[in-house]
Structure 1
Amino acid sequence: MPAPRQIAPATGRLGVLTPGLGAVASTFIAGVIAARTKGEDPIGSLAQMGRVRLGDRAEGRNPLIREFVPLASLDDLVFGGWDPISANVLEAARTAGVLEEKDLAPISAELEGIVGMEAVFDQRWVSRLEGTRVKQAASKWDLAEAVMADIERFRTENDCERLVMVWCASTEAYREPTDVHQSVEAFEAGLRDSDPEISPSQIYAYAAIQSGVPFANGAPNLSVDLPCMLELAERNRVPIGGKDFKTGQTLMKTILAPGLKSRMLGLRGWYSTNILGNRDGEVLDDPENFKSKEVSKLGVLDTILQPGEYPELYGNIDHVVRINYYPPRGDNKEGWDNIDIYGWMGYPMQIKVNFLCRDSILAAPLVLDLALFFDLAARAGEHGVQEWLSFYFKSPQPTSEQVGPEHDIFIQQIKLKNTLREWMGEEPVTHSEA
């Protein structure tokens, strides 16, 4: 048996900070408050409702994950964040329209009391939104210092023992890394010079890591998957990871594609289109912002199906992704997939999937799990990229030792649970024993 990891206890309050208090963050916060005040099950949270198999099956040792590892209690979570539009979480939740008033009314006072801090916001990165609650500063260096001051003030005023940050704001315009991102020294010089290639999400990531706060990126932005952030996270020994919450259509792809591969069925094409009408849909209606999302979504199939290993089955796939902004749909996204497969003697078949999902309902439990697990990682002495949490991301950030990220959701779950087993001094298990 491996020796258990020395993990600091989850004493005191854990502050969960979210850049962005919109649909995802407000739904997450409301759900946690409902769970701890009304006893509602946190459905969709692996950390709260999942189990982990230990030892001999005959022993029936299958504890809940939250009983197996020392996670922070829901009662100890404190919420805060920044938003360029909404003044508090109640206003944000009502504007988003995800949750009904009957669910918001009983907890409205607590939601209204969570006041958003003025945000670092630049319309050049999110052209379809107009921020009205925006920090003003002489340089991006000053903006980073202002965010760090917010972090420390929140820590003190809320008597937090520890903090985590989960990016829940909008998708930024697509960019490739530049010279300013190649080292901490170059990035800090770029902050002082207000380099136009430094985005708001990168300023938040820098401020978090400099403050010793784990950072999880829930959008397809370049945020912590940059040489400068990797260097800084190693230097400050802070856990980081991302990117882009795995919900909706991509979740279905990472479930279906491994099944097709397991039966050695061929794939000729996968056409995906989405309609949604929330703030995310409005932002993604801009081609530059959509490209960030498209790149995140398109990488899934190649990694799972390994066309280099199976060229006769997966070497020539037409993979198309579309997102359409349709305001009447609101947060209730509709994802259509047409999958052209073939089988014995090359005969064609089709699979049609119409997933009428609720984006923020699927994303909210991921925010909870990432907050709890990144806090656990920090208390376990982990730092740098937390590859074992790839389970939660569309485009998982690989460690430097990896050729590329793992996308098969079943393998990802095994890696997650085996990491927890090893930290607690238990033997890892195989895929079939998960």
Structure 2
Amino acid sequence: MNSERKIKEPNGRLGILTPGMGAVSTTFMAGVIAANKDLGRPIGSISQMGKIRLGKRTENNNPNVKDFIPLAPMENMVFGGWDIFNDNVYKSAMNAGVLEKDLLNGIKDELTEIKPMPAVFDHNFIKNIDGENVKKEKNKMDYAKALMADISNFKEKNKCDRLVIIWCASTEVYTQITDVHLSIEKFEKALEDNHSAIAPSMIYAYAAIKSGVPFANGAPNLTVDTPALIELANKLNVPIAGKDFKTGQTLMKTILGPGLKTRLLGIDGWFSTNILGNRDGEVLDDVDSFKTKEVSKLSVLNSVLEPDKYPELYKDMYHKVRINYYPPKGDDKESWDNIDIFGWLGYKMQIKVNFLCKDSILAAPVVLDLAIFMDLAQRAGMKGIQEWLSFYFKSPQTKEGLQPIHDIFLQKIKFENTLRHLMGETLINYLGLDYYEED
């Protein structure tokens, strides 16, 4: 038995703020409100519908996750956020076309009340969309201070006890770490100097951390994955996590890839293509934003398959990813994967996957769980990078020098063992020899 970590109770209201109030965030917010009214179920959410095994298999002790560990209840959640468009959540959700109109009309009053605050926006980082609901400040430090004021005002106005911020906005152009990202002193000077290497998502992350608010990055942007902001999060005891919600095609890769590797089946090539027509697709139609997403998607298989350890099976694998903007699809993403594999004596085989999914339907429970578990992390006194939440990300953020775990099954074990650890329960390693040695 481990010693139980002291976890503060989730008393009072939890405010969840999302930079970006488009298809993903409005589907999440509307879904929680609908579930609270028994108009639907939060399917896909581990925090709401998951179970966790405790002790030996023979004990059959599998409580609900939400009954096992103190989590913020959905009934105590309050929503807000920022967006470059003025539309309230009802109008934005209707425009997104993800959820049925009858469902949205049934919760119209609640959704109409949620209005976006003016956003921090820089056309140099997101090129294919534009909006009028944006802040006007003289430099990036002033933008950060304006966001901190928004955070404080939202908490006071809505009588929230705690807040969490989840980035649900568009993918920014590809950015690499530069000198201004290496320390908090250099980062803050870059904010004051209006430095071009500081992206809007970094300003949100900085404002969140300075406000003591956990921050999770749902896009593949660099954002909080810099030495400066990691340093600040550790210094101020704030949990951070990222990057890029694991949905759609990459979810399938983290399921199929580990299966093929476990059976030591070789892969000659993996060709992936997608079409989607929502705002995300429009943004990714820009080559620089696509580069950010491409790097995130390509990293998955390399980590799962470990070609350096199995060169005869995976070293020469050709991996290609394409994303095409196709407006008629709306939020209904469609992906195709062609996987050329080989087995015994090198004989060739193929796997073809055609996944027709609703991107925001898959992302909504991820947003909910991240908000709930990031809040848990803060109440448990955890700080800095929350690698145990890798399960929810395409490109998990880890401590420098640590290779991320992409195998979804190993991620789930890590996630569940972290919950057991927090509650002082015995960790499960699935060895199972004790069942046979007892005789």
TM range (shorter): over 0.9
Secondary structure in 2 matching 1:321 = strand
In the aligned structure 2, how far is the partner of 1:284 from the partner of 1:185? 33
Q: Offset of 1:39 from its aligned partner?
A: 5.4
**CA distance in structure 2 between the aligned counterparts of 1:274 and 1:377, rounded to whole angstroms:** 35
1:61 — aligned with what?
Answer: 61
1:267-307 Cα distance to aligned partner (Å, 9 max, x none): 00000000000000000000000000000000001111111
Deviations 1:192-233 (A, max 9, x none): 111011111000000000000000000000111001101100
TM-superposed CA distance for 1:87, in Å, is 2.7
On the 8 A contact 1:48/1:65 being kept in 2, the answer is: yes
Q: Distance in 2 between matches of 1:152 and 1:95?
A: 30
1:10 matched residue in structure 2 = 10
- C-alpha separation between the residues in 2 aligned to 1:339 and 1:432? 32
Q: Which moved more, 1:33-42 or 1:380-389?
A: 33-42
Counterpart of 1:4, as a letter, is E
Q: Partner residue of 2:312?
A: 312
User: Could you tell me how far apart the structure 1 residues matched to 2:86 and 2:154 are?
Assistant: 18
Query: Residue 436 of structure 2 aligns with which residue?
Result: none
Matched, 1:379 2:396: no
Corresponding residue of 1:20? 20
Correspondence for 1:276: 276
State how 1:131-280 maps to structure 2 within 5 Å.
131-280=131-280
Letter in 2 for 1:13: R
Secondary structure in 2 matching 1:264: coil
State the partner residue of 2:334.
334
Separation in 1, partners of 2:337, 2:408: 18
Shift of 1:178: 1.1
- In structure 1, how many angstroms separate the alpha carbons of the residues matched to 2:430 and 2:282? 40
Quote how far apart the aligned CAs of 1:431 are.
4.9
State the partner residue of 1:426: 425
In the alignment, the residues of structure 2 paired with residue 273 and residue 194 of structure 1 have an alpha-carbon distance, to the nearest angstrom, of 37
Residues of 2 paired with 1:38 and 1:49: CA distance? 14
1:49 aligns to what? 49
Aligned to 2:14, the other structure's residue is in SS state strand
Root mean square deviation, CA, Å: 0.9
Q: SS of the residue aligned with 2:106?
A: helix
What TM-score, normalized by structure 1, do the two folds share?
0.98
More displaced, 17-26 or 34-43?
34-43
- Give how far 1:86 is off: 3.5
Describe the SS at the equivalent of 2:91. Answer: helix
Separation in 2, partners of 1:318, 1:86: 44
CA contact (8 A) 1:414 1:431 kept: no
Distance 1:174 1:431 in 2: 40
SS at match of 2:197: coil
In 2, are the aligned partners of 1:209 and 1:232 still within 8 Å (CA)?
yes
Displacement after TM superposition at 1:85 (Å): 1.1
Deviates more, 1:300-309 or 1:367-376: 300-309
SS at match of 1:430: coil
Q: Which residue of 2 aligns with 1:292?
A: 292
Answer whether contact 1:411 1:431 (CA < 8 A) is retained.
Answer: no
Determine the C-alpha separation between the residues in 2 that align with 1:358 and 1:10.
Answer: 32
Give, in whole Å, the separation in 2 of the partners of 1:160 and 1:431: 41
2: CA distance between counterparts of 1:20 and 1:106? 23
Aligned-partner Cα distance in 2 for 1:393–1:244: 5
- Whole-Å Cα distance in 1 between the matches of residues 382 and 162 of structure 2? 15
Distance in 2 (CA, whole Å) between partners of 1:85 and 1:291 is: 25
State the identity as a percent. Answer: 61
**2:407 matched to 1:408?**
yes
Name the residue aligned to 2:435: none
Aligned to 2:416: 417
Native 8 Å contact 1:16 1:371 kept in 2: yes
Task: Give the 3-state SS of the residue equivalent to 1:191 in structure 2.
Answer: helix
C-alpha distance in structure 2 between counterparts of 1:115 and 1:295, whole Å: 33
Residue 340 of structure 2 aligns to a residue in which SS? strand
CA distance in structure 1 between the partners assigned to 2:343 and 2:34 by the alignment = 48
The runs of 5 or more residues in structure 2 that have no matched partner are 433-439
TM-score with structure 2 length normalisation? 0.97
Quick one: distance in 1 between partners of 2:175 and 2:55?
47
AA matched with 1:338? N
Which 10-residue stretch deviates more, 34-43 or 213-222? Answer: 34-43
Give 1:40 shift: 2.5
Tell me how many residue pairs correspond in the alignment: 432
1:113 equivalent in structure 2: 113
Equivalent in the alignment of 1:303: 303
In structure 1, how many angstroms separate the alpha carbons of the residues matched to 2:431 and 2:195?
Answer: 50
- Displacement of 1:180: 1.0
Match of 2:92 in 1: 92
For 2:214 and 2:148, the matched residues in 1 are separated by: 13
Could you tell me which runs of 5 or more consecutive residues in structure 1 were left unpaired when the two chains were aligned: none
2-structure distance, mates of 1:164, 1:47: 16
CA distance in 1, matches of 2:402, 2:205: 24
